[in-house]
Structure 1
Amino acid sequence: RPTCLAPETMIAGDLTSDSPMLIVGFNNFGDFYTNVTADNLTNQGFTATSVMLDLPSLAKKQVMT
């Protein structure tokens, strides 16, 4: 699925590392539930935490592409 603002290190989607994951979302941008994603990863045995950030410069945008 196309993703906006993904770090280059995450593009390959390699889940073989046991490093902790931080799932980041942006307040006021719907359809991405960081807590659900982190919980699902945790349930599969990964260490994952979620946070939501404010990006005031993007607050007027409804869709990010």
Structure 2
Amino acid sequence: MSDVAEIFDVHISSVSRMIKRGDLPCVNLGGTKRIPRVALEKFVESEIAYCPRFSKPFLRESAS
């Protein structure tokens, strides 16, 4: 979950809330929550905001 929080540039509690709401699916493995890559990709695709000025997808690039 911390990796997802870092990617989205949000606090880990925000990722936890997304999971609790059912917005972001996860799998419990050995007492830790894991978010499958496919689930994360589908979530991002469904949440991409369109920039009206350019009429194409806009997604902030990571700083790394």
TM-score range, shorter chain: under 0.3
